[in-house]
Every structure is written in C-alpha cells, then in structure tokens.
Amino acid sequence: MLECANMLGGIQLDFTQLPQQLVNGLMIGAIYALIALGYTMVYGVLRLINFAHGEVFMLGAYTALLTSYAMGFSPTALNAAYSKNLDPRNDPLGLVIMLLVAMAVCAVFGALIEYFAYRPMRNQSRISALITAIGVSMFLQYTGQLFLPSTPPPSIAQEANPYREVLTWNIVPEVLAQDGSVAKAGIEIVVTQGKVVMLITVVILMSLLTYLVMYTKTGRAMRAASHDFDSASLMGINVNRVVTATFMLGSALAGAGAMMLTTFEGTAMQPFFGVLPGVKAFVAAVLGGIGNIPGAVLGGILMGIAETLVVWLGFSAYKDAAAFVILILVLLIRPGGLLGSNKVEKV
C-alpha cells in the first residue's frame, strides 16, 4: 500500500509525498544548520548568544546580490539582455566568487561586531552581553534600512544561476486508469540541480569546519577556550584571537548559507529578512545542544524536517509555531539539547 490518503480529523496523510517532503525539509534544514553553527560556536567559546547573527546572514545575502550585480547581472543588465532574447547565465566560477566574497565580508562583519560591541562587555554579566547582542541586532536592521536599497531588491543571482535544471527521480511510476484518471499515485522526488549543489557545498563546508576545529592549532585553541576560557588564557592561548576566529568562522558560514539561499532558492531581500532564519537557527542550535558543533548540524536538519512535516500534515498555518513548540519541549525535557551535556550549570 503506497498511497494511504485518509482523512482523520482533518489530517491528511499522503505517504506518496513523504519522500519529497523529507527532501524539502533537508534543504531548509541545511541552511538552518549553517546558521546554527555560528550561534553554537560563539556560545561554546563565550557563553554568549549572538543575536546579531541573523543580521550577519542578511548582510551576506546583500553582499552576494551586490557581487552578482558587479559581475554584470544587475536588473538593468538582465533586462537589456532579455529584450535581445538572450539568456545570460553566470558560470560556476562566478558562483564561487560570490560565495567567497559573501563569506569574506561576513567574516569581517563578524569580527567587527565582536571587537566593537562584545569585547568591551566581556567581563560584564551575561545579561548585559545578551542585551548588547539584541542591541547590535536592531542596530544592524535599522542601519540596513537606512543604507541598503529601500525597495526590496529581488535576487537576480537566481536568475543568472547556471544550475536551473530540474531533476526528477521517479521512484514509483504513476499508474493511470483507462479513463486517464490516476489509478495509483506515483512517488517521485523533484529537485533542482542548484539544490543538489547547495547540499554538496554544505557538506564540504562542514567537513572543512570539522577539519579546522579538530586538526589545526586554531581549532585546538578554540576547543581549549570553549572548555575553560580562563585556564586557556593562563596556558598562553591568545583568547582574543580565538574569539575573533570563532566569530569569523561562524559568520562566514552564515554568509555561505545566505549566498546559497539567494542563489538557489530565491529570496526577496529587505533589511529584516535575517530575523526569521536567525530565530529558527537559534532554536536549531538549542535543539542540538548549544555549544555543540555536530549538535547544531543535527538540530538544523531536524528543525527543517520537523517544519516540513508539519506542512505535510496539513498545518502550514502553524509551521512557525512548531519551531517554538520544539524549543519549549527541548528546554523542558532535555535542557542541554540532544547532543549537549546535561550538567547543571550555575549562573
């Protein structure tokens, strides 16, 4: 029995859609995971929840967009090309450039935010640092509103995206009855090339991160600082450098996520658009166990899939509520998160 579309109190379970929905969830989760890594790494080292992280994500998206403009894919240039019936596409190298520029700019922003906003607050109470983080977040949103294009610029990046091919994977073919109606629904997974590229890039980035954290000197310093910040500094580790590196790494990942979201999924940008992904990714980080790197990845992907499953059940109107229900449940049942340690912490 492949199809089991039954109506149970309004819930419509269409199992033929489940594989596609899991793929959808994975794509959303991959982006959440990239952002969640930034939250979790900073928390791991500083015990600070960097609420400005969503805004770094937003800046990354704008950077990617403006880079594509600079490479000749501005609205005017594209419209001119269309009027001549041309179909201009970026080449893969162009996408790599966009990715690297977005990551670099975000890394610089991350470092600047840490240096100017959080470093002076380092020895203050954690609540002060938290409030500062929220302040920075709002500062970036409203400054963005002043200086970034005020009409939401559409993402041209996706228009020039070379990976637009739609891949269809027919797992179970649809069977048609004689009269042309569907006798047995098929199962298929439809995904764009771009999303596959996105997923591969996420895997590569995460492998790089793992290598950096586990096998390099900076990574070892990071882990030491995360284990015990004060002792690490006593052992001759330059903790300021470690903190900067952590912020840069986390922000670069957010930048990469932003670039891929704008390019392969398409977004309409405005200075507040980092808020929603930021909050979701924060929940993902808590779900996986904040401070725990594999936890952030797991949490992100679970969040993406959970959200999509809520939609699959037919409750798209409550999709975002699901994120917060998850957060509350995690905090109640397993406050340390799925992979986090459950030790009781003193404040």
- Angle 275-288/53-68 helices, nearest 10 degrees? 130
The window from 63-71, 214-222, 294-302, 331-339 that contacts another protein (CB under 8 A) reads 331-339
DSSP lists the bridge partners of residue 154 as: 268
Q: Is 282 in the site for another protein (CB under 8 A)?
A: yes
Give the nearer residue to another protein in terms of CB position, either 217 or 346.
346
The two structure tokens encoding residue 122: 């380092």
Q: Helix, strand, or coil here: 4?
A: coil
> Residues 339, 40: contact at Cβ < 8 Å?
no
Site residues for another protein, 81-110, by CB under 8 A, read: 82-83
The two structure tokens encoding residue 192: 């764009």
Binding residue (CB under 8 A) for another protein from 2, 11, 112, 166? 166
Q: Is 319 in the site for another protein (CB under 8 A)?
A: yes
The window from 94-102, 204-212, 241-249, 258-266 that contacts another protein (CB under 8 A) reads 258-266
Binding residue (CB under 8 A) for another protein from 71, 243, 281, 290? 290
Site residues for another protein, 145-164, by CB under 8 A, read: 150-156, 158-159
Closest to 139 measured CA to CA, from 334, 264, 274, 38: 274
Q: How far apart are CA 221 and CA 204, in angstroms?
A: 23
Q: Give every CB contact of residue 280 below 8 A, 6+ residues apart in sequence.
A: 32, 35, 303, 307, 320, 323
Site residues for another protein, 194-233, by CB under 8 A, read: none
Shortest Cβ distance from residue 109 to another protein (Å)?
18
Shortest Cβ distance from residue 137 to another protein (Å)?
6
What Å distances lie between residue 111 and 53, 108, 247, 289, CA to CA?
Answer: 12, 5, 6, 24
Site residues for another protein, 261-280, by CB under 8 A, read: 261, 265-268, 270, 272-273, 275-277, 279
Shortest Cβ distance from residue 218 to another protein (Å)?
26
